[in-house]
Amino acid sequence: MNSTALENSLYELIVETSTNLPKDVRRAIRAAKAQENAGTRAAMSLATITQNIQMADEKVSPICQDTGLPTFKIKTPIGVNQLVIKEAVHKAMVRATKDGKMRPNSVDSLTGENSGDNLGLGLPVIKFEQWEKDTIEIRLILKGGGCENKNIQYSLPCELDGLGRAGRDLDGIRKCVMHSVYQAQGQGCSAGFIGVGIGGDRSSGYDLAKEQLFRSADDVNPNEDLRKLEEYVMEHANELGIGTMGFGGETTLLGCKVGVMHRIPASFFVSVAYNCWAFRRLGISIEANTGEIQEWMYQEGESISFKDDQESEQTPDEKPEVITLQAPISEEQIRSLKVGDVVQIDGMMYTGRDAIHKYLSDNDSPVDLNGQVIYHCGPVMLKDEDGNWHVKAAGPTTSIREEPYQGDIMKRFGIRAVIGKGGMGPKTLQALEEHGGVYLNAIGGAAQYYADCIQSVEGVDLTQFGIPEAMWHLKVKGFTAVVTMDSHGNSLHRDVDQSSLQKLAQYKEKVFV
């Protein structure tokens, strides 16, 4: 096999997966956008999402900044050297990371050190399987941390909020799957896709669930019971009212695929793998002798472009009113905001993720944060020949991880606004009310849309934590987000959670016999 050609083919697969959303996913997003009510936060979010997809197409840049944990599923003919393929995967990963097509996302679990090239112990995940065909099939999924953290596993029988007891039967499985959509809320960048694995043990059940995400969104389950279950979930999960980004709306789920395997009598697991709307999954067929690409997967059907399908299609009366905030922001300005307001930020903002929040809880800030904005973001960054940094992708990360720190840090440093996705909890909400602060929900996955709002990189601190976890000083213009937690004790996330739980309870009665 030509190792250079194989490496180039794998590099192309990685770049395409990161930057070019599959056609089946595009069809699902277009359908969701068409049925959303004009002028709503959900409609605005879907317009931003489609604009982001188009920008990623044109720039050949990451759709989402979160590389996630790259997982390769590879089928090889008998006699093909799998070690050669593994080496080519590693080389292609390093190239793609260096070229800014992926964020360096591999972190030592004990020291927290970022390898800088997406390689490390156990990373990337590569799963080989032999088959009788004479071609090599390679499929890749880039599943970000926000949706990965909303994976869930149930052990039947169990008690579920809103649904009561789920037994060891198809109806109990139905309840688990419906509950899995409810518990994800907007934290997994809804509207999303789910893969469900029934049976196995704890590890094989999750593997089966993730395997379902490699199915086409358009396929039909050959198992009649599972087909009915998939159709039921797709119909009724979208009646929960969680909506895009958890803002409320008509579409919460874009796809549901279910698989089954045998189990032992003592265990009955239902495992759910959640994936965000930025469903980055592609595959290629490779000629075993040459290493050249023969065919692409998930790209059947007509090409779908969102170039003429943007937010600009809305009339001025349908667009939400926008409030401009110039950082630094006063407490008076912050307290004038309320849940549902759409804001645009001009001026400076500073990125801060897990490592930064832990650091600020015990140390002084390297910059004056009084009146400033913290952005929960781990961007993709590239340095040019002159040593200047440029932002290649910069969408929000899931905020709830910072709940133990956020309120205290805001009070201590005078921070007025926090931007992230998925909302935060009661401790932060209380601090917003006491201190005078707001939580702003950006559109998860919209890495190109937000990178385009960043005019320049003014500096960086705490680079010892790695590029995603460093504190980047960003000058922005027109950075759009929605107030979802205000300084008056209001939280859209809490309200949607409560209303969707009430709606979930409608599906308590037995459906499948």
pLDDT tens column, 183-214: 999 998 999 999 999 999 999 999 999 999 99
pLDDT at residue 309 in the model: 64
Handedness of CA 40, 43, 49, 54 (dihedral sign): negative
pLDDT at residue 321 in the model: 86
pLDDT at residue 319 in the model: 62
Please give the structure tokens belonging to residue 273: 């793998």
Q: Reduce the secondary structure of 436-461 to three states and give it as a string.
A: CCEEEECCCCCHHHHHCCEEEEEEEE
**Mean pLDDT for the chain overall:** 95
Please give the structure tokens belonging to residue 89: 């995967």
Torsion of CA 477, 482, 486, 489, to 10 degrees: -170
The DSSP call for residue 320 is P
Please give the structure tokens belonging to residue 225: 């019971």
> Residue 118 pLDDT > 90, yes or no?
yes
Q: How many CA atoms lie within 13 A of 253 on its CB side?
A: 28
pLDDT at residue 19 in the model: 97
What kind and span of H or E run contains 203? helix 202-212
pLDDT at residue 199 in the model: 98
Q: What is the CATH number of domain 321-491?
A: 3.20.130.10
How many angstroms separate the CA atoms of 249 and 242, rounded? 6
What's phi and psi for 403, nearest 5 deg? -55, -40
> Residue 400 pLDDT > 80, yes or no?
yes
Over its C-alpha atoms, the chain yields an Rg (Å, rounded) of: 23
pLDDT tens column, 353-377: 999 999 999 999 999 999 999 999 9
Question: 377 with 65: CB under 8 angstroms?
Answer: yes
Reduced to 3 states (helix: H, G, I; strand: E, B; else coil), residue 222 is coil
pLDDT tens column, 292-339: 999 999 998 888 888 766 544 444 445 668 999 999 999 999 999 999
Question: 41 with 482: CB under 8 angstroms?
Answer: yes
DSSP string, 19-49: HS--HHHHHHHHHHHHHSPTTSHHHHHHHHH
Domain residue spans in the chain? Answer: 1-144+280-305, 145-275, 321-491
Please give the structure tokens belonging to residue 432: 């917003």
Compute the C-alpha angle 343/348/354, nearest 5°: 90
39 pLDDT tier (thresholds 50, 70, 90) = confident
pLDDT at residue 317 in the model: 45
Return the closest-CA partner of residue 60 out of 104, 17, 13, 19. 19
Return the closest-CA partner of residue 498 out of 151, 185, 172, 175. 185
1 pLDDT tier (thresholds 50, 70, 90) = confident
513 pLDDT tier (thresholds 50, 70, 90) = confident
pLDDT at residue 41 in the model: 86
379 pLDDT tier (thresholds 50, 70, 90) = very high
pLDDT tens column, 453-468: 999 999 999 999 999 9
Please give the structure tokens belonging to residue 214: 């490699």
Return the closest-CA partner of residue 32 out of 249, 216, 209, 237. 249
417-420/438-441 β-pairing: parallel
Handedness of CA 310, 313, 315, 316 (dihedral sign): positive
